[in-house]
Each structure stands twice: as C-alpha cells, then as structure tokens.
Amino acid sequence: MHKVLYKEPIAPDTYDLWFSHPSIHARAKPGQFVIIRTDEHGERIPLTIASTEEGKVRVIVKAVGKSTFKICGLKVGDSVVDIVGPLGNPSEIDKFGTVCVVGGGVGIAPLFPVTRALKEAGNRVLGILGAANSDSIIMLDEFEPYLDRLFITTDDGSRGIKGPVTEALKTILSDDPPDIIWAIGPMVMMKFVSLLAAQRDLRCWVSLNPIMVDGTGMCGACRAEVNGEMRFACVHGPEFDGRTVSWNELIKRQYQYREEEKLALEHYIRETGERNAR
C-alpha cells in the first residue's frame, strides 16, 4: 500500500499528488512513468513521473474519467494498492545546444523533469507552456528557473499569446530556431508541433499516451505506428520522434476510447453522485 503524503489542487480538476514509495526515487529518470491502481478492482492508470524524493513519487493527475476521478478524490493518509515503476525508456538527455520544450495542458507536468535535466546538461532552453486559459497553466514557478525564454499561450487569450502552442512555436522557429524540440500534451497538439518540426527537419521528441493496460508490452493496447513499423509506447517509448508517428490512426483510436470513457464516467457519476473529486 502506498499512502497519499500530499495533495493540492493546482488547476481545475487537476491535482498535485505525492505518494509514498520505497524505491522509485533511486531509479526514476526523466521521461519514465508509473502505473497506479487505486484498489484491487481498479483500472491500471499510467502517469508520468513529475518528480521524486527519497521514499516519495510525485504525479500530476487531471480527473477526466472514472479512475482518475477516484485518484483525485483521495485524501492525505489514504492509500492506493499498487504503484509500479519506473516504466518506459528515459528521455535521451544530452547537450544539444538550444532546445525548445513545448507543454500543453496537463502535459506540462511530465515535461518538467525533462526540462530540468536538459538545462542541467548545459542546454539553452526555450519554453512554451499552453493551456485553455490562465487558470489551467500549471507549474509555472517551477519551470522558470530552467528556462532562458518563456512563452505562454492560452486558447481564450486570458494570458500570453492567444491561440495554440504552435503560434509561439512559429515565432521561435523564425526568430530563434532551436536544435531540437520536445513536446508533451494532447495528441493533436503533438501532431501539429511535429509537422512544424518536420518542415524545418528538426528532431521532435513526443511522449505518446495511448491506451495502456499492463505497461510491459504484453497487451498491445498502446500500439502506435512509428516509421512504418508497429511499436508499443510502454516498452519502446513513451518518447518517439514525432515526425515518424502515424498521428491520424493514433488519434482516431484515442478519441474512440475517450467517448467510451465519457459514457463510463457519466454512469459512475449517476451511480455514486460524486460530481467532483474535491
């Protein structure tokens, strides 16, 4: 059992959670993830590691379905039955020169350890953080010490540049072109960042978050076509060069699953009356 040591709301329906774990801190690297199961009947939820400390692991969770609602509904002192990890391959951190990191929505959280590692490796780091509105931008104070330039975008224009992250990326590509790009966020966001990177022949690492069950490559649910070959995000990734990902097929499967998850969540709310995770 792993206890909730800390919980704090940081954006609408989004929570910063620290769990107890005896060993993850000793092995976890940027880009890796854990799988959390709330109880013996619970779904296995993959979540990228945001930070670790001795005996602790941190994840940022947005309540979007039944299982993430349950995680976000936990209180300090509550426990989950399983936290398995670190899983997946770590990010390929090196001294590249100038790096542009692009985070969208809750994808900002897994981008943070990558950004910190890139800066500590001696890179000049340009950051783009985007969200639906100013209230949904997370971890800004934590990012700022590791960024040489920061661009903020919001869909509604309530802060920074109005529009998607690609608006800021176009400016950077024209005025201050990087040597490599990292992008983590919604599938559609990563697709269009990758398309811009391909136009400039820039490597663009993306962290794929398709449907995932066991996290060890056995179920095949997290399959993605990369460079014309089938890959599993859990064992071959989660990071891939976005220029080589077959985005349309991946997005189609993801949205089909999201619709099924939405129906399941509506049923869960009707049965439990739990309309929010606070």
- Domains of the chain, CATH where assigned: 2-87 (2.40.30.10), 98-253 (3.40.50.80)
pTM (2 d.p.): 0.84
Mean pLDDT, to the nearest integer, of 41-61? 89
Residue 234's pLDDT band (cuts 50, 70, 90): low
SS (H, E, C) the chain: CEEEEEEEEEECCEEEEEEECCCHHHHCCCCCEEEEECCCCCCCEEEECCEEECCEEEEEEECCCHHHHHHHCCCCCCEECEEEEEECCCCCCCCCCEEEEEEEHHHHHHHHHHHHHHHHCCCEEEEEEEECCHHHCCCHHHHHHHCCEEEEEECCCCCCEECCHHHHHHHHHHHCCCCEEEEECCHHHHHHHHHHHHHCCCCEEEECCCCCCCCCCCCCCCEEEECCEEEEHHHHCCEEEHHHECHHHHHHHHHHHHHHHHHHHHHHHHHHCCCCCC
- pLDDT on residue 25: 92
- pLDDT on residue 48: 87
pLDDT 10s digits, 107-157: 999 999 999 999 999 999 999 999 999 999 999 999 999 999 999 999 999
Half-sphere exposure of 185 (CA within 13 A, CB side): 25
